[in-house]
């Protein structure tokens, strides 16, 4: 099957949305926890990427939606903090429904049956049910003109993870954490670790041609 740019443009809206959202492969599944001055907020986000290690910066993309207010973004900008909590295989349905457009005074923690957890005197709520939790401080927002989206950058202030999910080199095992992956906006995948390889030095590249 083949799609040209013209074909993509002419697809029905939902089909185009599903196709373009799912072609990049499995995306990370996380819940962003925030607080306003009145209540807590929780939203599923699949666009988190790592930007740098020192300082430890992560970012996520906010999709444009001119009709609906973005509570997560408003809270991050006003409070200066947020949390990132992984989604595990036992609560994917609850996590999915945090994307519903609840009113501002309604907390997705309550509606989707998650437990707010406050750790290290951090003012933003963590998700108690998650097996990997990050406390983040807001750094900056970068507007991307070509896609009319905002990239939100945050710095990791706290990491909570069970000891048995990190190896001696610091590598996190997502399978042990039972973290899931997302395709498009509707599909959830189980993750299975296949292999670990060392840092790829030219002199160590296996002779694939004779294999
Ligand atoms: C699987 C999935 C992934 C999503 N990823 C993102 C994302 O990366 N960025 C984004 O802005 N919205 C994303 N959304 C939509 C938000 O979850 C949704 O707009 C939510 O209502 C935002 O909540 P808020 O208004 O409380 O901030 C995603 C939704 C789903 C179902």
> pLDDT for 118-164, tens place per residue?
998 999 999 999 999 999 999 999 999 999 999 999 999 999 999 99
Using CA of residue 139, residue 145, residue 188, residue 68, what is the dihedral sign?
positive
- Does 178 contact ligand 1 (Cβ within 6 A)? no
The pTM of the full predicted model, rounded to 2 decimals, is 0.96
Q: What is the mean pLDDT of residues 82-96?
A: 98
- 45 in ligand 1 pocket by Cβ < 6 Å? yes
Annotated domain spans of the chain: 5-210
CA angle (157 as vertex; 156, 158 as ends), nearest 5: 100
Shortest-distance Cα residue to atom 30 of ligand 1:
185
Q: 55 preceded by cis ω (within 30°)?
A: yes
First-to-last alpha carbon distance for the chain, in angstroms, is: 32
Closest ligand 1 atom, residue 73 Cα: 27
Buried b (16+ CB within 10 A) or exposed e, 43-74: bbbbbbeeeeeeeebbbbbbeeeeeeebbbbe
Question: Measured from the CB, is residue 47 less than 6 Å from ligand 1?
Answer: yes
Rounded Cα–Cα distance for residues 37 and 192 (Å): 40
List the CATH code of the domain at 5-210.
2.30.110.10
Mutate to test the pocket of ligand 1, among 99, 110, 148, 185 (most ligand atoms within 8 A of CB): 99
Percent of the chain topping pLDDT 70: 98
């Amino acid at each position: 099957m083949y799609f040209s740019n013209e074909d993509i443009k002419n697809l029905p809206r939902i089909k185009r949305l599903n196709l373009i959202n799912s072609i990049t492969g499995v995306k990370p599944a996380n819940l962003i926890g925030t607080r306003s001055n009145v209540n807590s907020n929780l939203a599923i986000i699949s666009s988190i990427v790592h930007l740098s290690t020192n300082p430890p910066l992560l970012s996520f993309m906010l999709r444009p939606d001119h009709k609906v207010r973005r509570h997560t973004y408003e809270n991050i900008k006003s409070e200066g903090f947020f949390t990132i909590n992984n989604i595990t295989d036992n609560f994917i349905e609850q996590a999915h429904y945090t994307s519903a457009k609840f009113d501002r005074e309604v907390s997705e923690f309550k509606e989707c049956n998650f437990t707010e957890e406050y750790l290290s005197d951090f003012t933003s709520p963590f998700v108690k049910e998650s097996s990997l939790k990050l406390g983040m401080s807001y750094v900056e927002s970068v507007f991307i003109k070509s896609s009319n989206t905002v990239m939100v950058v945050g710095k990791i202030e706290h990491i909570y993870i069970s000891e048995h999910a990190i190896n001696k080199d610091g590598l996190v095992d997502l399978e042990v954490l039972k973290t899931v992956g997302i395709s498009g906006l509707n599909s959830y995948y189980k993750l299975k670790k296949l292999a670990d390889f060392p840092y790829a030095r030219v002199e160590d590249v296996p002779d694939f041609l004779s294999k």
